[in-house]
Copies of this chain bind each other. A is one copy, B any other.
Amino acid sequence: MTVLASLVIDILNYVGIIAFAVSGALKAIEKDMDLLGVVVLGFSTALVGGITRDVLLGVTPPVNITYLPYPITAIVASLAALPFARYVTRGIKPFLYADALGLGAFTAIGAQVAFTHGINPLGIAMLASITAVGGGVVRDLLANEVPMVLSREVYACASIIGGFAYWPLVELLPGDAALIVTVLVSSIRIAAIERGWSLPRARSLAWKGDRPRRRRSS
């Protein structure tokens, strides 16, 4: 990987840690948790995906615990979100873009780590997307909600596409694969936000005669 690509991904990784921590903190505020809940949800959203990846690969203790700048960034970002929580909701554009950049960087880093551990292409895609969306799943479980990524627009899907793209890319362009994956995932996610893309509901594929919306319109 070139020095520049490495630097870009490193910066976007911090953008992701901050955006993810803020999304955890906002969820904690929404659920009327206390200060500790804000830090725990912020930390978990930002870092539990990477921790899970490391545990699955046998990298213990996980980097997100041992490399201090990561947990400190997540904790500070969670607390810093508090005074701005009136203005920054998860729905505003600048926040969604930061989140999309983080999604891309997390996916690329997860794919890289899995690849260097000799995992197969399907496993790379799984570990890349666990890195990117695992934290959000834990945030929603702690808030006692169905994880957003399982029932909403193109989010985890963008990460999975990037995870699958990493393996052919790293064979062809070993120096640039991570950066291309970052750009790819972030672009898909941003396009999905702008154009309102969503995956088909499972139910619409499963039960052809049982769609409430159509019944109402008839």
Q: Does A173 contact B (CB under 8 A)?
A: no
Contact B157–A36 (Cβ < 8 Å): yes
Is A172 part of the binding interface, using a Cβ–Cβ cutoff of 8 Å? no
Contact status B56-A65, CB under 8 Å = yes
Which of B37, B141, B201 is in CB contact (< 8 Å) with A151? Answer: B37
Main secondary structure of the interface of A (DSSP, over half): helix
Q: Give chain B residues whose Cβ lies under 8 Å from the Cβ of A40.
A: 150, 156
Q: How many residues of A contact B (CB 8 A)?
A: 64
B residues in contact with A85, CB < 8 Å? 202, 206-207
User: Interface code A84-124, partner B: CB below 8 Å = 1, 0 otherwise?
Assistant: 01100000000000000000000000000000010110110
Alpha-carbon separation in the docked complex, A117 to B193 (Å): 44
Across-interface contacts of A156 in B (CB, < 8 A): 36, 40
Q: Confirm or deny: A200 has a beta carbon within 8 angstroms of a beta carbon on chain B.
A: yes
Q: Chain A interface (Cβ within 8 Å of chain B)?
A: 25, 28-29, 31-38, 40-41, 51, 55-58, 60-62, 65-66, 68, 71-72, 82-83, 85-86, 117, 119-120, 122-123, 126-127, 137, 141-147, 149-152, 156-157, 160, 198-203, 205-210
Closest 7 CB pairs of A and B: A58-B60, A37-B150, A85-B206, A34-B199, A33-B151, A144-B146, A29-B202
Interchain Cβ contacts under 8 Å between A and B, 7 examples: A32-B203, A34-B200, A40-B156, A56-B65, A85-B206, A142-B147, A144-B144
